Chain A
Amino acid sequence: MAKAGSSRSGSVSAGNTVIDIEKVTKVYQTGDVTVHALRGVDLKIDRGEFVAVMGASGSGKSTLMNILGGLDYPTVGEYRLDGEPISRLDSDGLARIRNRTLGFVFQSFNLLSRTSALENVELPLLYGDVPARERHHRAAEALTQVGLADRMEHHPNQMSGGQQQRVAIARALVTRPKVILADEPTGNLDSETSVEVMTLFQELWRAGITIVVVTHEPDVAAFAGRVVNMKDGRVKSDRRQEARDAREALAAAVAQREQEHEHEQSELAEQASATREEAG
């Protein structure tokens, strides 16, 4: 496992590590079948990194995400988040960590229906005992940050998928977490909206927030500064890369769409004129 982490040696100082996973294994017992979801994973993530965790289904990336998110305990091994040993906390302690230190973004947004964007974003602060006025203020701030200042009173069913995911990102941001964990955040979005959401993640990254995204799409992983590949419960590769600029990608995608649109329009016009000629 030490080999897998070799590519990041040198650039990291110990005090700068925010996620530190050491020899973590996870074994599930489902009936008579024993599933080794993680078979000894070591992973160190520094403050301010943007990491994409990739892998096929069954590679253990979701299990890793659940452990990183404090939703599950490792069977063996140590997990320190921001220096705090998470693997020894009880259920209330984990709830506190999820509330204060982590922010979650899910594939299916998981917004409360019939609840305004503002109230959805306030939800983590409610469990963090933040007073009402500050809750309002911070939620409004987070929504402004994701570009939804004019949608605060909208309900999820009045918003597009991209907007809903941005509300979810605002909800993850609002507690000012150390790390944002995103599980297939673009899985339910079309390619252009996906790039839009990745633009937002890159902005947060530039603002200094540590981001871990689980994805199986190489297109999405390209926007991260580091890609961790999982296979059979182990880290197969771990490399840094030049992150693709999402803004440029977005501009390119928009340009292409417009071009296609024009193309379609001209084709349609041609068809129309052809029909007219036939009719005439």
Chain B
Amino acid sequence: MTSLQTVRIAGRALMRNKLRSFLTALGIIIGVGAVIATVAIGDGAKSMVEQSFAAMGSNLLIIMSGTTTSGGAHGGFGSQPTLSWDDMAAIQREVTSVKYTAPQLRTSAQIINEEQNWTTSVTGTTPEYFLIRTWTSAAGSLISTADVDGATKTVVLGQTVVDKLYGPSVDPNSVVGQSVRIKNVPFQVIGVLERKGQSASGQDYDDGVFIPSSTFQAKVQGGLKQYLSGVILANATSNDTTARAERQITSLLRERHHLRKGSDDDFSIRNLSELANAQQEGTRTLTTLLASIAAVSLLVGGVGIMNIMLVSVTERTREIGLRMAVGARRSDILYQFLVESLTLSVAGGIIGIATGIATAEELASKFAWPLLVRPQVIIIAVVFSGLVGVGFGLYPARKASRLDPIEALRFE
């Protein structure tokens, strides 16, 4: 008996009891479907977190000024400027694990063109800012060193601002070269940023405009010549060096600010890549938890298969006796029943994968998550359901193959 014939016999036996076969496979369908859907949704959520953190900048450290204390009331971070432009230069120069530094001077202002106006955040910065954020332009150019040195009245617009001022369907290239007014000062649009979407907390990265830091100080928000009225962004050379960069910056700034041992820092550093890692870790834990619950339901599906196969063996005792009488070997009977349970579980697995992907797709489109189905998850699901089929089918199949043909033929 060839294996193809065994498969065909098993298939025919299953087709004779279509409803029962389907119900038996249902356990596996639900199990595999649940595993595929949870893992796909988990992976999608994880990649969304990754994306939003990536839009924020890779390996990002945010260095903020210290606090003021007046009459026992503590102001928040940044309420007293303690970071100087020299501090930023020193970090760039001396901290080896930092790649770029950039200032982020920010205020809220109204932007006006001929027809529309829009109040948004205005950020004064340097070319390194876009490298740290890993932002690129959709049209035109970004702020250059020459712009900073010459304090040119140039501006780079975010997509949301373009949408509000020029309409959502406008070609970004046509916006480049236009003139807008910020706090009544005319600026020339030199570029439009690529759309980046929202941060994990829902902040719209595209709602903002960017001008040279020197122009920001001269035209938008004056004062504080040597101090930096904002935060310093720095990015570590790699994901592994963020913690080291944080330590090095801390000790450098403490030294530069002449802080004694034991006294508090007059600045603070936020390590966003650690935050990202923690959030990803959380997602992963949740995915693992849900997937293991789903895997348990797969096992339950396996028990269902075993149960039905045992019933089937008893029900078909005479058939087994007859097959033996006309020349089936014990191994033929063993394989027949094993292939039946294997077919049930693998077919269930394949339907389950389709169901799982469909469910994940449905949920992904509902919550606007990216859909991510890793091929290895599918392979694992198929292999696992196959193992369930063989594992739980073996006992009934052995039972069938060990029947005494005489007894089996006499069975009522």
* Residues in chain A within 8 A of chain B (CB atoms): 66, 69, 71-72, 91-92, 95-96, 98-100, 104, 106, 110, 112-115, 123-124, 126-129, 171, 175
Contacts and interface: CB of A to CB of B under 8 A. Distances in A.
Interface stretch (B79-87, B108-116, B323-331): B323-331
Contacts of A92: 329-331
B16 A114 contact: yes
Given A91-B329, A91-B330, A127 B323 contact: yes
Q: Which 5 A-B pairs have the closest CB atoms?
A: A99-B327, A127-B327, A124-B326, A95-B329, A110-B322
A27 B157 CA distance: 99
Interface of B: 1-2, 5, 9, 12, 16, 318-319, 321-332, 405-406, 409
A70 B319 CA distance: 18
Contact of A127 (B1, B12, B321): B1
B327 A100 contact: yes
Contacts of A124: 326-327
B405 to A, nearest CB: 5
A175 B325 CA distance: 13
A152 B325 CA distance: 22
B328 to A, nearest CB: 5
Given A72-B406, A126-B1, A112 B327 contact: no
20 contacts: A66-B406, A71-B406, A92-B329, A95-B329, A95-B330, A96-B327, A98-B324, A98-B327, A100-B327, A104-B326, A110-B325, A112-B322, A114-B16, A123-B322, A127-B1, A127-B326, A127-B327, A127-B328, A127-B329, A127-B332
Contacts of B12: 115
Nearest to B325: A104
Given A110-B322, A126-B9, A95 B328 contact: yes
Contacts of B332: 95, 127
A200 B16 CA distance: 32
Contacts of B2: 129
Contacts of A127: 1, 323, 326-329, 332
A104 B12 CA distance: 24
Contacts of A171: 326
Given A98-B325, A127-B323, 9 more contacts: A71-B405, A95-B329, A95-B330, A95-B332, A106-B322, A106-B409, A110-B318, A110-B409, A113-B16
Nearest to A128: B327
Nearest to B326: A124
A219 B71 CA distance: 123
B406 A123 contact: no
Nearest to B319: A112
B66 to A, nearest CB: 84
B169 to A, nearest CB: 64
A128 B409 CA distance: 21
B327 A95 contact: yes
Nearest to A95: B329
Contact of B1 (A100, A106, A129): A129
B313 to A, nearest CB: 15
Nearest to A98: B327
A171 B9 CA distance: 17
Contacts of B409: 71, 106, 110
Nearest to A183: B409
Contacts of B318: 110
A98 B1 contact: no
Contacts of B327: 95-96, 98-100, 124, 127-128, 175
Nearest to B327: A99
Contacts of A71: 324-325, 405-406, 409
Given A72-B406, A106-B409, A95 B324 contact: yes
A123 B323 contact: yes
Interface centre among A72, A95, A110, A128 (most CB of B within 10 A): A95
Interface centre among B324, B325, B326, B409 (most CB of A within 10 A): B326
Contact of A69 (B325, B330, B331): B325
Contacts of B321: 110
A9 B409 CA distance: 36
Contacts of B329: 91-92, 95, 127
A153 to B, nearest CB: 15
A96 B326 CA distance: 9
B323 to A, nearest CB: 7
B406 A126 contact: no
